[in-house]
Amino acid sequence: MLLQGRNAIVYGGGGLVGGAMARGFAGAGARVHLAGRTAATLDKVASDIRSAGGAAETVVLDALDAEQVDAHADAVQREFGSLDISANVISVGDIQGTPLAEMDVEDFLAPVHNATRSTFLTTRAASRHMIPQGSGVILTFGGGGHNEPVHDYSIGGFYVAMAALDAMRRQLAAELGKNGIRVVTLHSGGLPESLPDDEKEIAEGLVEGTLLGRAADLTDVGNVAVFAASDLARSITGASINITAGAETD
């Protein structure tokens, strides 16, 4: 298996995207450490993984809390021997649909703060263990912040948050590459199945904008995450892997 014997922490592992990544990692042989704020959702994903023959651990923590993040990363390294993959896919709490000119500054800044702080903390915690072992993969999800802005819908501070993560990914890759650590973003352009029923029109728009006539789904996310974290992608770092089905071209 591509990830046999590796340990992967998935922050936001109880969510749809985090769960997809975690199931993919576990199916490829990794032991998955699901981290998030809600025990029930983490336990559900862990149960699915174990039922399929995989290995999963859960921990309730806040990815915005430095002490909790550091303590958990230390525990994974200490108890399981390595920390090989760190994936941060927490919900950043973005408020969409309100024009920037009408938005409260706190609402605008919330996703920027949450995305950058959690990515910094989780990456810092992982890299402290990956550097001595001379290997590791850090994954972020979202990206696309360097592309053209959205013209027909206000996405608040989320776009700025994604641009910040793109910049962080490039800088982290530059600093950590000499230690054998890769930093990669998965850019989906939006997942229709992750949207609530009352946003059906948005989901349809995501599909209509693709070249393939379909958008990426959660299975795609899990499969690409496995590839990005595996040695098959050993030459990929500092990059965003485009899984927008052609909605955005590079």
Which CATH class name applies to 7-240?
alpha beta
Residue 195: what are its φ and ψ, rounded to 5°? Answer: -90, 145
Please tell me the distance from the alpha carbon of residue 238 to that of residue 6, in angstroms, as a whole number: 22
pLDDT tens for the chain, residues 1 to 250: 899 999 999 999 999 999 999 999 999 999 999 999 999 999 999 999 999 999 999 999 999 999 999 999 999 999 999 999 999 999 887 777 778 888 899 999 999 999 999 999 999 999 999 999 999 999 999 866 556 666 556 677 888 898 899 999 999 999 999 999 999 999 987 888 877 776 666 667 778 888 999 989 999 999 999 999 999 999 999 999 999 999 888 8
Our CA angle for 170, 171, 176, nearest 5°, is: 100
DSSP for 171-236 reads HHHHHHGGGTEEEEEEE-S--GGGS-GGGHHHHHHHHHTSSSSS---HHHHHHHHHHHHSGGGTT-
Q: What is the pLDDT of residue 241?
A: 96
Alpha helices in 32-104, H assignment, sequence order: 39-51, 66-80
Percent of the chain whose predicted confidence (pLDDT) is above 90: 74
The number of beta carbons lying within 10 Å of the beta carbon of residue 134 is 10
**CB-based contact 137:229 (threshold 8 Å):** yes
Q: What is the pLDDT of residue 145?
A: 52
3-state SS string for 105-145: HHHHHHHHHHHHHHHHHHHHHHHHHHHHHCCEEEEEECCCC
4-30 per-residue burial string, b: 16 or more CB within 10 A, e: under 16: eebbbbbbbbbbbbbbbbbbbbbbbbb
Residue 149 DSSP code? P
Residue 124: what are its φ and ψ, rounded to 5°? Answer: -60, -45
Tokens of 170: 């490039």
221-248 per-residue burial string, b: 16 or more CB within 10 A, e: under 16: bbbbbbbbbbeebeebbbbbbbbbbebb
In the chain, where the domains are located:
7-240
101-106, Cβ contacts within 8 angstroms, sequence gap of 24 or more = 103/154, 103/156, 103/157
Cα–Cα distance list, 73 to 25, 89, 137 (Å): 18, 16, 14
